[in-house]
A and B are shown apart, each in its own frame.
Chain A
């Protein structure tokens, strides 16, 4: 049996001295899809950022992808996770394809992966378009293509359905099924529990703590 991808025990994350995560304990098994739901300020984004090594662990214990969050090199962890955030995640003055080639080169992935990733998310005809000219939904699709090129072990998706139209949402659902089947672990935050119908697990956060699980 494969070891868990992530284990948190009473994990606390502070922002300006305030505990945005106030003692979260959870285990993420490999090749699973977990949806984190909760109101604004519940700590969903903070949990994802902690799992991605983007924010430091203030107290408690945590190991993600074999990296100790308290003492390990979080840069090593970051190379193994893929992040899809709320905001625009790209260099606006580069084209769609250039942004993906930058990521591929940084991670020493084959540049040949760029075109199939763009085709998969329906942006093949936008490869030469400046990223700043994309709509919000297209930027979201580009973010998904970035993750496809990266092929991370752990996908961290913050409100992944935001800005996507119905076709985009269907594409994302289909893509998540595929990446989980391929062995990746996915953690996605959402306001709307209905969006988590295909999840094997749903965590409910409130006040920086896990208050429910189904």
Chain B
């Protein structure tokens, strides 16, 4: 399973490196969303800072949905699905590999967006840096959950529009925990309880994904 996960993650990351879809399409979209959020809030810095974590995670949600769709689109061509199916890859390994690649991509995007939050929403630099561990954990959980929901919508008539409807209820606790952690970090408080919630969700999604990914692919 681990060997399959490494193989699939390497393949997905190599494809992203070659195509630069996330770099040239998703990252600019996220940065533009942050800029527009800053403009919408007006020039008062204090208001920006308090709204920053919520707006940041709203943008994270949008770019995560785009990244999940991109990750699933790689496998969605009918011919590719059949060819790869005949490789008989371990489905748990495929899930872990796709989730890992997606997490790495989201970490890179998240770093850019966090810098954008400091620039355009004027969140405190020290507090924003203190939020990095919770951001890493939240994005990993979103990647695991997103890979699972992506497989669930993969064979639907309109997977790109179905994904947000299905995924949002599952993402909501993760986004709320991430936002609270970020707010706590900005306020100098302790975000431990939110980290625990996110970590439990991450483990649960990984376990469910390893067990069910093959069933979802078959169905």
A interface residue numbers (CB < 8 A to B): 49, 52, 54, 75-76, 78-79, 81-83, 85-91, 93-94, 98, 102-103, 105-107, 130, 143, 146, 150, 152
- Measured in the bound complex, the distance between the Cα atoms of B11 and A83 in whole Å is 20
- Measured in the bound complex, the distance between the Cα atoms of B83 and A107 in whole Å is 12
Given that A94-B11, A98-B14, A107-B87 are contacting pairs, would A89 and B19 also be in contact in the complex, using a CB cutoff of 8 Å?
A: no
Output the least CB separation between A214 and chain B (Å). 29
Asked if B89 is an interface residue, CB under 8 A from chain A, the answer is: yes
Flag if B14 contacts A94 (CB, 8 Å).
yes
Chain A residues positioned under 8 Å from B83 (CB to CB)? 83, 85, 89-90, 143, 146
Query: For A49, A75, A105, A107, which residue has the most chain B Cβ atoms within 10 angstroms?
Result: A75
Interface residues as binary, B46-60 with A (CB distance below 8 Å gives 1, 0 otherwise): 000000000000000
- Measured in the bound complex, the distance between the Cα atoms of B15 and A78 in whole Å is 25
**A76, A86, A91, A146: the one within 8 Å of B11 (CB):** A91
Query: For B7, B78, B85, which residue has the most chain A Cβ atoms within 10 angstroms?
Result: B85
Flag if B79 contacts A87 (CB, 8 Å).
yes
Asked if B161 is an interface residue, CB under 8 A from chain A, the answer is: no
Asked if B82 is an interface residue, CB under 8 A from chain A, the answer is: yes
Flag if A85 contacts B4 (CB, 8 Å).
no
Query: For B7, B74, B78, B80, which residue has the most chain A Cβ atoms within 10 angstroms?
Result: B80
- Measured in the bound complex, the distance between the Cα atoms of B78 and A83 in whole Å is 12
- Measured in the bound complex, the distance between the Cα atoms of B86 and A88 in whole Å is 15
Asked if B44 is an interface residue, CB under 8 A from chain A, the answer is: no
Report the 10 A-B pairs with minimum CB-CB distance, sorted nearest first. Answer: A87-B79, A79-B88, A89-B83, A89-B79, A106-B87, A93-B18, A93-B15, A78-B86, A93-B19, A83-B86
Output the least CB separation between B72 and chain A (Å). 13
Chain A residues positioned under 8 Å from B85 (CB to CB)? 54, 78, 83
Output the least CB separation between A54 and chain B (Å). 6
B interface residue numbers (CB < 8 A to A): 4, 7, 11, 14-15, 18-19, 74, 77-80, 82-83, 85-89, 91, 214
- Measured in the bound complex, the distance between the Cα atoms of B87 and A152 in whole Å is 10
**B11, B14, B86: the one within 8 Å of A79 (CB):** B86
- Ordered by A's residue number, 19 sampled pairs between the chains whose C-beta atoms are within 8 Å are A52-B82, A54-B86, A75-B91, A75-B214, A79-B86, A79-B87, A85-B79, A87-B79, A88-B77, A90-B83, A94-B14, A102-B11, A103-B87, A106-B4, A106-B87, A106-B88, A106-B89, A107-B88, A143-B83
Chain A residues positioned under 8 Å from B19 (CB to CB)? 93
Chain B residues positioned under 8 Å from A52 (CB to CB)? 82, 86
Given that A52-B86, A85-B82, A105-B7 are contacting pairs, would A94 and B15 also be in contact in the complex, using a CB cutoff of 8 Å?
A: yes
Chain B residues positioned under 8 Å from A146 (CB to CB)? 83
Flag if A87 contacts B77 (CB, 8 Å).
yes
